[in-house]
Structure 1
Amino acid sequence: MPSVYANSVHAMRMCDAFARAGHRVSLYTAPGSFAVEDPHAYYGVRHRFRIRTVSSPDYTPAGYRVRAERVRRLLVRDAPDLIYGHDLYALTVGVGIAPLVYETHRMRDDPNTLRIEHDLLHADVLARIVVITGALEHEYRRVYGASARLPIVVAPEGADPPDGCGGAAGRPELPGRPDARRIGYVGHLYEGRGIDLVLDLARRLPDLDFHLVGGTPEDLAHWTRPRHHVANAYFHGHRPPATVGAYYPLFDVVLAPYQARVYTADGHCETGRWASPMKMFEYMAHGRALVASDLPVLREVLDDRVNCLLRPPTDAAAWAQAITELLADEPLRTALGERARRQVLHRHTWRHRVDRVLAHLDVPSTSAGESVRRPSPP
């Protein structure tokens, strides 16, 4: 952190929500791929918390272990009441310092982390495991349930209301035709994100302008090659997380065209079966009319013709029909967006998520001055 990837946004949003709940937070992170003057401003978080950057010699298992030992020395020096994290190496060295909460967004598939995870899940050291979907909880129980202690909490990703994202981003100037309706996609451009589908839709609907916000320089270079060119599709590239919220109000309809197989940034791990896309919740928080892929895992949050329109992820004609219907039916467009917005406000803010993952854990709060037990959200 910082980086262009969603996991760094997730970490900063969670730390912000922990701080908002009254806790004193220290984030231990590997160095980012670039530098920013003020990480809190770059990510648009409302609360300031301590960020400790911990380097490692390299990005090998041995290097990860070196960084983890450095984290342990810092934790021993300033022992927390709870250690919450994704990094298995750092969590393992935290054993004996404080209770551990392990959050995971996928099943592990490489030998080193599989071994560490196996040992962690079979030791009596975890306060709980946090997963992002019921599908992932089911998979963990299927793989480990007969042998491991699995106190699992399901907590989907979240979003902040538009006025709670921190910072005041100016209105972006979008290229394209001033009288054309705007269709938006926000997120990464790598395999499984449905960028081919978005470009197909742009060809099918030439009277509309399609705007794609996000993507690494490498992925952007791939999709802007002449062979992918579509005149009414505009790629905006990566934007600081604090400024992304300013794009959503500019779009008449937004797209979540996730495919059945979605891969991590390096293309190594397939995560589509368990995904809880952060950008989907941001679309909803901004009250945008959403067309999304009809995938079982997304139906844990989305409901066709209630808070979105769902379409098969490979049926471009069906997606074109859904976009056309929404643009022609303003009451439907408004109703879907408003129901989605209310759902996030009542169930899926980052603060809701923090209350869920800390429910029934004794964690001192600086605002309360003593240990508090937070009830489970409804």
Structure 2
Amino acid sequence: MHPQSPQALVYVGRSRLHRNRANLIQALHVAEGFRNIGLPMRMYLPPAEGCDVRRVLEDFGVSPDLDIRPTQWLHTRFRLWPFFLRFRRELRAARSVFTPLPQVSGILAALGIPHVLEIHDAERDLIAKGMLDTVISAHRKGVLTRLLPVSRGAERLLLDSGADPARVTVAPNGVELGAYQALPAFDPARLAAPRLVYLGTLERKRGIEVFGAAAAAGLGQVTLIGNKAPGYTPPPGVVVLPFVPHHEVPGWYGRTDIVLLPYPKDIATADSMSPMKLFEALAAGRPIVASNLPVLRELLTHEENALLVDADDADAWLAAIRRLQADPRLAATLAGNARELASRFTWEKRAADIARACGWLPAA
């Protein structure tokens, strides 16, 4: 049993600890970020089925001592109201409740419990599920005390829909810089035969055809790492490795010479995402080639810290790789500027920025 922590922050989510999903990894780093700045956070999550929670947290690269309280009432097989009936007292006693789920926000608002809502996918979570009006109404009434979109794109949607701009704070995702500090420095000499590594689910809708095209063109050593989606067939000429624990991800960036971030234009989160892969690539200090999407341009500047290309133009991706090979000085500049930019996006800084905006810490 964990001791009760009056005035702790409380996180409510439905990500399951035994699944390696980006939203879970982000949630754990959020909690650790707040803890590291002196704001303890209790996390209510669904049960971890058949796994050692401490080992799972270590695999995710976060402290195994995070205050996680699994409860069956957050499992997706149940509706949410039983959870709130069981834990209403704890939620009311919290300094604030923090959630990335509009459905949770709706119930908290109905119960009059002050809370903060983090917005990751405005299109899918707010519009497609019919939650936008409910969220904006709760925000204007004040029970939803602050909206935290992770991108300017999501912020624009909220403001255009009537959110109070004084209580909207853009909070992009972050990265654990310490995990990347020991990586070998970018070596321009390796550009003659660069190593290209993809980490994530292996399926076509993620734009990874670019890696197959690079392999077919003889532009580098291509490695795809992750679980294969049903029906996915890796292209010839690439090495395919199984999923690796998240704490091993930095090491694979250390074995990468050029980072490709080929997000498709039609990806569901294209207008509002803040992908953790982007921050990991920045922290790795490697030259980046990324899709020229508005949401990525919020951080990336063409020829300053990345090369931006048309997401759907395979030839443009290959031309960008060849350009870096032909211009090692440009590649080194992009790599250095990327690493410098990453220093602005630690999880602790993100937590502190949010805490000050919410009044949980004094202004800097």
Which of 18, 35, 39 is matched with 1:19 structurally? 35
Q: Shift of residue 323 of structure 1? A: 1.0
Report the counterpart of residue 327 of structure 1 in structure 2. Answer: 325
Give identity over the alignment, percent: 26
- CA 1:111/1:296 → structure 2, altered by over 3 Å: closer, same or farther? closer
Matches within 5 A, 1:43-192: 43-46=60-63, 48-56=65-73, 59=76, 63-76=79-92, 79-94=93-108, 99-107=114-122, 108-111=126-129, 113-114=131-132, 116-145=134-163, 151-163=167-179, 180-190=193-203, 192=205
Supply the AA of the counterpart residue of 1:10: Q
Report the counterpart of residue 367 of structure 1 in structure 2. Answer: none
* 3-state SS of 1:75 partner: helix
The answer to whether the 8 Å contact 1:213/1:238 transfers is: yes
Matches within 5 A, 1:250-269: 250-262=255-267
Report the counterpart of residue 267 of structure 1 in structure 2. Answer: none
Distance 1:159 1:41 in 2: 16
Q: Note the alpha carbon deviations across 1:235-277, whole angstroms, 9 max, x for none.
A: 3232211111111010111110001111xxxxxxx21111211
Report the counterpart of residue 5 of structure 2 in structure 1. Answer: none
Q: Shift of residue 212 of structure 1? A: 2.1
CA RMSD across the alignment: 2.9
Supply the AA of the counterpart residue of 2:266: R
Which of 240, 244, 247 is matched with 1:242 structurally? 247
Q: Note the alpha carbon deviations across 1:16-57, whole angstroms, 9 max, x for none.
A: 110111111211112346624413312111473200112138
* 3-state SS of 1:222 partner: coil
Supply the AA of the counterpart residue of 1:353: R
TM-score by length of 1: 0.80
Q: Which runs of 5 or more structure 2 residues have no equivalent in the other structure?
A: 1-15, 185-191
Are 1:229 and 2:241 matched, yes or no? no
Report the counterpart of residue 359 of structure 2 in structure 1. Answer: 362
* 3-state SS of 1:359 partner: helix
Report the counterpart of residue 341 of structure 1 in structure 2. Answer: 339
- CA 1:163/1:111 → structure 2, altered by over 3 Å: closer, same or farther? closer
Distance 1:115 1:31 in 2: 31
- CA 1:286/1:46 → structure 2, altered by over 3 Å: closer, same or farther? farther
- CA 1:81/1:324 → structure 2, altered by over 3 Å: closer, same or farther? same
Which of 197, 212, 215 is matched with 2:224 structurally? 212
Q: Which runs of 5 or more structure 1 residues have no equivalent in the other structure?
A: 172-178, 263-269, 364-371
Aligned residues: 336
Distance 2:118 2:219 in 1: 44
Distance 1:241 1:255 in 2: 19
Q: Note the alpha carbon deviations across 1:109-151, whole angstroms, 9 max, x for none.
A: 3446456535533432122100011111111122234xx6872
Supply the AA of the counterpart residue of 1:138: R
* 3-state SS of 2:117 partner: strand
Distance 2:288 2:27 in 1: 25
